[in-house]
């Protein structure tokens, strides 16, 4: 990022951490194929296994539970398609990589609704699970990528166990932003993505409990314990491991909470009628999703960008997406308000000056809009 721009879209992708960059350059310089038995191959294998341990440590899992993938989308697909279940139950606010994969998985799909606050409706989930005893996988994200609202995973796991269902969580947004302890969480599978932590795009992981059988999406060689064939992306994996280690050690939730709260207080001062989705609920420390009545998301995204502030209108799953959020729709948010929803997401590189620049840019837009309306 340049000195005159503020990047506040970490939930879409987080800038490359210096630790990840250094690890990737070292891996590129080392060369070698991790499946080769010679010295260069052994060095490459060492890079992969070091990173595997680093990623596992971030979520409190053991290294042998980690399967590297090309990203969170592939990890979600491996979990949903590879589990071999007859039923899939997903929440209405899942990332498109879960929603679309579930539709294409060949299993019966049930969508569990959320409350108006954006939290999974546990009573409805219980009823959905009770009505059919076929082998089932429940997929509920750890925290929503648009609103930051944390989902009740402990209760989801408890309900799923009562109905002998497996549980997968898309933890792409939660990992590195909120503490994760695999043994306490109790899920069967968890998806992760490197570039949300400050690694490069193109690498992720599926963490799966011991003894779980998964049918691979990609067959060929015996890499990743035959769960994911193909020569490992050693450079990307090295960066992923380094970024995971940096996120675990630094644990910036407290710092980011202060910055997020400063932003939201400033926003309300500028626009007392602003709506902050999930305010008062447990949210990721780095995420603020809001709307100012009368201002469209397209206007805000473009105006802030011109003033040197990068934000988004929601999930970055589609190129150039500026439109109504399926997450807010599932929450029952009025269409006019949802059309103005903006997501500000902070990260390791965010500083106080970025928050002040964003508020100054918002002030300009809000005042200009008020003059036009007068």
Backbone dihedral angles phi then psi of residue 352, each to the nearest 5 degrees: -60, -35
Rounded CA gap, 289 and 302, in Å? 17
Task: Specify burial of residue 209 (Cβ count, 10 A radius: 0-12, 13-18, 19+).
Answer: middle
Active site residues: 317
Spatial CA neighbour of 31 closest among 39, 22, 40: 40
Rounded CA gap, 124 and 114, in Å? 9
The owner of tokens 């925290």 is: 143
* DSSP of 5-52: -EE-BTTT-PPPPHHHHHHHHHHHHH---TT--SHHHHHHHHHHHHHH
DSSP state of 314: S
Consecutive H or E run containing 90: strand 87-91
What are the CA-CA distances from residue 261 to residues 292, 329, 352 (Å)?
17, 25, 11
Backbone dihedral angles phi then psi of residue 291, each to the nearest 5 degrees: -145, 140
Task: Specify burial of residue 215 (Cβ count, 10 A radius: 0-12, 13-18, 19+).
Answer: exposed
Consecutive H or E run containing 88: strand 87-91
What are the CA-CA distances from residue 24 to residues 31, 57, 209, 237 (Å)?
11, 19, 28, 8
Provide the terminal-to-terminal Cα distance of the chain, rounded to the nearest Å: 37
């Amino acid at each position: 990022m340049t000195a005159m721009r503020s990047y506040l879209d970490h939930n879409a992708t987080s800038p490359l951490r210096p630790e990840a960059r250094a690890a990737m350059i070292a891996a590129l310089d080392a060369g070698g194929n991790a499946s080769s038995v010679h010295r260069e191959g052994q060095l490459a294998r060492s890079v992969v296994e070091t990173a595997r341990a680093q990623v596992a440590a971030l979520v409190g899992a053991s290294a042998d539970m980690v399967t590297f993938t090309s990203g969170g989308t592939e990890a979600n697909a491996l979990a949903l398609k590879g589990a071999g279940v007859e039923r899939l139950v997903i929440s209405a606010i899942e990332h498109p990589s879960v929603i679309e994969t579930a539709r294409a998985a060949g299993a019966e799909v049930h969508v569990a609704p959320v409350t108006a606050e954006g939290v999974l409706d546990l009573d409805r989930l219980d009823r959905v699970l009770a009505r059919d005893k076929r082998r089932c996988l429940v997929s509920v994200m750890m925290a929503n990528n648009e609103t930051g609202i944390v989902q009740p995973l402990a209760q989801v796991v408890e309900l799923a166990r009562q109905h002998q269902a497996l549980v997968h969580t898309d933890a792409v947004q939660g990992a590195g932003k909120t503490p994760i302890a695999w043994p306490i969480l109790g899920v069967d599978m968890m998806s992760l993505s490197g570039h949300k932590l400050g690694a490069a795009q193109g690498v992720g992981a599926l963490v799966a409990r011991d003894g779980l059988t998964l049918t691979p999406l990609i067959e060929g060689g015996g890499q990743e314990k035959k769960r994911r064939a193909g020569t490992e992306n050693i450079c990307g994996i090295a960066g992923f491991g380094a970024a995971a280690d940096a996120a675990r050690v630094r644990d910036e939730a407290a710092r980011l909470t202060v910055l997020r709260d400063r932003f939201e207080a400033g926003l309300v001062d500028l626009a007392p009628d602003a709506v902050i989705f999930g305010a008062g609920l447990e949210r990721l420390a780095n995420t603020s999703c809001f709307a100012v009545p009368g201002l469209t998301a397209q206007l805000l995204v473009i105006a802030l960008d011109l003033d040197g502030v990068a934000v988004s209108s929601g999930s970055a799953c589609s190129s150039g997406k500026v439109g109504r959020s399926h997450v807010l729709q599932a929450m029952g948010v009025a269409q006019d308000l949802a059309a103005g929803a903006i997501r500000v997401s902070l990260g390791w590189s965010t500083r106080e000056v970025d928050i002040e620049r964003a508020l100054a840019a918002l002030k300009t837009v809000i005042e200009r809009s008020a003059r036009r309306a007068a």
